[in-house]
Amino acid sequence: MASSSYEGILLGMGNPLLDISAVVDEAFLAKYDVKPGNAILAEEKHLPMYDELASKNNVEYIAGGATQNSIRVAQWMLQIPGATSYIGCIGKDKFGEEMKKNAQAAGVNAHYYEDENAPTGTCAVCVVGGERSLIANLSAANCYKSEHLKKPENWALVEKAKYIYIAGFFLTVSPDSIQLVAEHAAATNKVFLMNLSAPFICEFFRDAQEKALPYVDYVFGNETEARTFARVHEWETENVEEIALKISQLPKASGTHRRITVITQGRDPVVVADDGKVKTYPVILLPKEKLVDTNGAGDAFVGGFLSQLVQEKSIDDCVRAACYAANVVIQRSGCTYPERPDFN
């Protein structure tokens, strides 16, 4: 395929957040009532944490947000200028400018809605022993409105895309935007992909999630999210392979694509449920001393997967690229990567 035919082939829509990342200790987590591996929304008690992290001498500011990470990684893997686009809401501030610069440097065509009143969203990334805990203060990201999506210059990105990816986190912000895009994808036989994203999404945003699911052709998630999903739906099983199969067999709005479910399990094999069958894929194991932090590992996995999917490669190739991208990212701070991928 000529690179021009890849223009805008992949669109992501989500919460653009600036990661404020630092290595902390157990006492810091305890002070703010955060558990290792958490992915949660900030409450009142968490708010002082952002300044405290910012004052640490090892602090790093990295453009983040789950969907944006995945899109950036897909763009990096593809190395085709303009292949990816992204939509989300930032504030008119220093962090927002940082975000725009970062998207541009990554080669992603970002159409940000800029909110006049709210600051750009941030995510506290607390790293203890290589494991990350995420506390998101959505701020401006929470202000995304479907009116922005409906503007001709933004809807054009939806029209142009053949693959559309939205992390489950966006269900808390603009379910009506998700619905617009989901219905468009079903009506035009495009591929629509979502992520379970976090246990709290499966538990507390179940209605919004269930409304979107019939349209989803690919469901991504990790083992904890999958088990939470199963518990919420009273499936009485902890078996990830069984859960992946059941998710893939939930009703679909359109019969064009059958649903494929892809569940990661950290260092354990990736589970793929497709057409009533389950296949597992070993991941690339990394010696503990090479692990920097797991922040962005799942996002990078999806990005690697998408980079092959848009090229119509096999699921085996998609998973191989996904594991490669995740392996690169966990050896670096945040969801970052070297100049060029070394994947063939």
- The residues assigned a catalytic role are 299
Distance (Å, rounded) from C-alpha 19 to C-alpha 126? 10
By the 8 A CB rule, do 191 and 217 touch? yes
Residues facing 109 on adjacent strands: 85
What is the DSSP secondary-structure string of 178-204? HHHHHHHHHHTT-EEEEE---HHHHHH
- Contact partners, residue 234, CB within 8 Å, separation at least 6: none
By the 8 A CB rule, do 13 and 166 touch? yes
Distance (Å, rounded) from C-alpha 308 to C-alpha 77? 9
Give every strand in the sheet of 218-222, ordered side by side. 109-115, 84-91, 10-13, 163-167, 191-195, 218-222, 260-265, 268-274, 277-281
Pairing of strands 191-195, 39-41: unpaired
Distances (CA, A) of 287 to 75, 297, 330: 27, 16, 11
By the 8 A CB rule, do 135 and 53 touch? no
Distance (Å, rounded) from C-alpha 230 to C-alpha 186? 25
Distance (Å, rounded) from C-alpha 134 to C-alpha 19? 9
Distances (CA, A) of 276 to 241, 250, 272, 305: 11, 11, 10, 21
